[in-house]
Structure 1
Amino acid sequence: MYIFLLKGIVVWLVMAGAAIANGFFRDEILTPFLGSGLSLPVCGIVLSVMVFTITLLLIPYFGRQKPHLYWFLGVFWTLLTLTFEVVMGHFIEGKPWNEIVQVFNVWKGNLFLLVLVVLVMSPFACAKIRGFAK
């Protein structure tokens, strides 16, 4: 289980790098061009696709596992992501809590909830697609 978790952290770090690149692309290229009203949901969809694609490509790294371990992995990635958001946003950048929770505001175009759903579901779904779920 220890190796499984370490592999999960490594793959999550790849996803975190993709998320940071996606945010940079949104802030520096898309928002000036499209405005935040459109760039925010577009990048939420793009990040969701990136997470699913990374999972699909790297799921063989975990080998054949029982389905509950893939669900556990998705929950683990989601908890890592939420922890990162809180630690980075509140404790490092000093953002107030009311600003931190805005990442969940779908009505303002933020699709972070979609990303979290994809994080939870993608390990099991990709393992099924690739034939790795026992």
Structure 2
Amino acid sequence: MAVWCVLLLLAVVNGAAREAWLVRHFDAETAHVLSTLMLCLWIVAAVWWLAPWLCLRSERQALRTGLAWVALTMAFESLVGHYLLGRPWSAVWEDYDLKDGHIWPLVLIVTAASPWLAWRARRRSS
């Protein structure tokens, strides 16, 4: 849970950086794509760095951890987006629509896979 909170903090900082810098230099769609890709890199780096702290003992545990983080992320996005920010449910789920060029699901895939990738890589190096 603590590592997921670090990932959440990275996402918030990444979003603030997008709004403060990227949207000044790129159109909104490009800024969103760049921000999403940057967040994916931050997630992989953070999970790699924090992997020893996770104490993952098996491939199954690594996969479960990633899926739990995805569930937490989707719950957070949905609840904050709808109840705190007052966005309608259709707008909350808009970022998940690949047909419209939204690549947010890539963040979920990276979040789900990162513990497993870190576990595999660290297991090979030991």
TM-score greater than 0.5 by the shorter chain: yes
Mind listing any 5+ residue stretches in structure 1 that lack a counterpart? 1-8
Pick the aligned partner of 1:44 from 26, 36, 41: 36
- 1:13 equivalent to 2:5? Answer yes
Q: Which amino acid aligns with 2:106?
A: L
Q: Which amino acid aligns with 1:74?
A: G
Alignment correspondent of 1:69: 61
CA distance in 1, matches of 2:12, 2:81: 13
Q: Which amino acid aligns with 2:123?
A: G
- Match of 2:93, SS state, is helix
Deviations 1:67-119 (A, max 9, x none): 11000000000000000001100011110011101111334443210000011
The question of whether the paired residues in 2 share the 8 Å contact of 1:74 and 1:122 is answered with: yes
The question of whether the paired residues in 1 share the 8 Å contact of 2:67 and 2:112 is answered with: yes
- Match of 2:87, SS state, is coil
- Match of 2:86, SS state, is coil
What does 1:1-134 correspond to in 2, within 5 Å? 9-131=1-123
The question of whether the paired residues in 2 share the 8 Å contact of 1:40 and 1:109 is answered with: no
TM-score computed with the length of structure 2 as normaliser: 0.93
RMSD between superposed Cα atoms in Å: 1.3
Structure 1 residue 120: Cα displacement: 0.8
CA distance in 2, matches of 1:54, 1:110: 24
Mind listing any 5+ residue stretches in structure 2 that lack a counterpart? none
Judged with a 3 Å threshold, the aligned counterparts in structure 2 of structure 1 residues 107 and 25 are, in CA distance, closer, same or farther, namely farther
